[in-house]
Structure 1
Amino acid sequence: MTRREVELAAQRVREASARLTATLVETRRDLETAKAELEREKAEAKADDRFAERARSGRAGRDMQRIQELVDRGRLGWDDVLLGRGEEWMTNAVRRSMGQLKNAIERGGLDEADAWATRADDDEYFDDPLGASSAG
C-alpha cells in the first residue's frame, strides 16, 4: 500500500467515524425525546386515573360521578364530554369542575377541603338529569 492509499483509507475511516458519531448523537437525542414522551404519557395516565377515581367516588360532585358511571359503562368517553359532544348538563358540570380547579391554581394550590366544600349541588341546577332509572 502506498502512502497516498494509506492517507485515503485513513480519511475514509475519519469520515465514517464522524458519520457514526453524528448518528449516535441523533439516536441519543431521539431516545431522550422518546423517554420524555413516555414519562409524559405515564403522568397523563396517572392524572386521568386520579381524575376518574375522584369522579367515581363522588368527590368531584354528583354530576361528575354520573358522567364517570356512563364512561365506565362505555356509553361515552371523557373526550366526548370535554369536546361538548355530550349532553348540555355534562358540559356544564365539567365547566364548574374546571372553574374550581382554575380557582385553586390561582390561589396557589389545591386544598381539597376548600376546593370541594364550596361547590354547588349539581341537582339544584339540573334536577337529577339522568333520572333515577338511568343513574344505576
Structure 2
Amino acid sequence: MKILAMFKSCIRDRFVSQLFLLFLFFLVFGQAAVAFHQQWSPIEIDDNISYLLDDKSIYKDGYNIIATVGLFPHRPIASNAALVVSASYLVKINCIAKSLIVKQGSAFADSETEGAVLDFDAIKLYSALVAKDVDAKLIDRLCMGE
C-alpha cells in the first residue's frame, strides 16, 4: 500500500513538475514575444497622439508603399536625419528631433519601404513627387508649424 501511495505521489509530483516547466516555458516565450513587440514603437510627439503614417496615397511615379514610421529605442538618432517616407508622407525628422531625442530612438521605416529613411539631400527630389495638399496638414502638425 505504501508503495502504491509513493507511486501515486511520484506521478502527481511529476505531473506538477511538468506543469511547472510548461508554465515556465510559456512565461519565457511570452516575455520574449513582448520584448520583440516592444522593439519599436510609434513616434509620439504628444502624449495623446501616436503618429502611424501609412498607405493613404500613391507617388506620382505609381510606386505605392505601405509603411509605418516608428522608433527603435535602443539606437541613437542620426543628427539631421532628413525625412521618413511613408506612403506619400514626408516627415522631416529634424523638425521633430526634440520628441525623438527624448525617446532615445532613431527613425525607422519597415521593410516594405526598402530603405525609406533618406538623407537630407533627398528632400527636394521626394517633395516633387508628393502632392502638397495631401501632406501639408500632417507635416505642419508633426513639425509644429515649422
TM range (shorter): 0.3 to 0.5
Give 1 or 2: higher helix fraction. Answer: 1
TM-score (norm. length: structure 2): 0.39
Give 1 or 2: higher strand fraction. Answer: 2
Larger RCO, structures 1/2 (Cα 8 Å, 6+ apart):
2
TM-score (norm. length: structure 1): 0.42
